[in-house]
Amino acid sequence: MSVEATVRLYIFDADGTLRRTTVEGLPCPNRPGEWELIPGVRERLAEIDWGRARFGVASNQGGVGLGYLSLAAARGLLEEMVVEAFGVTEPPPGSVEICPHAPHLGCPCRKPQPLMLQRLMRRFGAEPHETLFVGDMDKDEGAARAAGTRFMWAHEFFRRSA
Ligand SMILES: [Mg+2]
């Protein structure tokens, strides 16, 4: 049986996992037109039976706290990404978790802290062992460990060549 057969909640990091910027040197997009889905994301997500599993996104958006973009803009960009990636008309309510705090503030939600993952699990009624978090950074793996969820690297989940 594949690992994924027992997953009831998939949580994805955004930048470097589902989307990438189209502006050189920009770590994450600040406005529309500055990002695209990473090739293969949509096709891989379409393989999942969304009738028996839910999904969420957990994204550190430190640029909000640093003044690069508003929280509404960050949310809008992530919601647009969800629509494109999952082929839905709009993101399921509560599926996008954002930490808007500047990195130096030591908030309880910025990954590798587990709060965003815990909120999504609570909201969608999933236990940690039924939850798979997919991300591309050490802080993603740390958040999964702290929340007790399973973890997969984005390049493994999306079968990207390293
Ligand atoms: Mg990332």
Q: State the angle between helix axes of 115-124 and 138-147 in degrees (0 to 180), rounded to the nearest 10.
A: 50
From the number of C-beta atoms within 10 Å of its C-beta (0-12, 13-18, 19+), residue 142 rates as middle
Distance 134 CA to ligand 1 centre (A): 9
CA distances from 146 to 48, 153, 159 (A): 26, 16, 25
| Spatial distance between the Cα atoms of 24 and 66, rounded to a whole number of angstroms | 20
Residue closest to 93 by CA, chosen among 82, 85, 102: 82
Q: What is the CATH number of the domain that holds 27?
A: 3.40.50.1000
| 62, part of any domain | yes
The tally of domains found in the chain comes to 1
Distance 60 CA to ligand 1 centre (A): 8
Q: Which domain holds residue 120?
A: 3-157
Which tens digit of pLDDT belongs to each residue from 89-135? 999 999 999 999 999 999 999 999 999 999 999 999 999 999 999 99
| Spatial distance between the Cα atoms of 134 and 154, rounded to a whole number of angstroms | 6
Distance 62 CA to ligand 1 centre (A): 12
> Which pLDDT value is given to residue 29?
95
Distance 16 CA to ligand 1 centre (A): 4
Q: Name the helix (H) or strand (E) containing 5.
A: none
Q: Are strands 131-135 and 9-12 parallel, antiparallel or unpaired?
A: parallel
In degrees and rounded to multiples of 5, residue 139 shows phi and psi of -70, -25
| 162, part of any domain | no
| Spatial distance between the Cα atoms of 39 and 102, rounded to a whole number of angstroms | 30
Which tens digit of pLDDT belongs to each residue from 21-78? 999 999 899 999 999 999 999 999 999 999 999 999 999 999 999 999 999 999 999 9
> Which pLDDT value is given to residue 162?
59
3-state secondary structure of 25: coil
For the whole model, what pTM was predicted?
0.96
Distance 49 CA to ligand 1 centre (A): 24
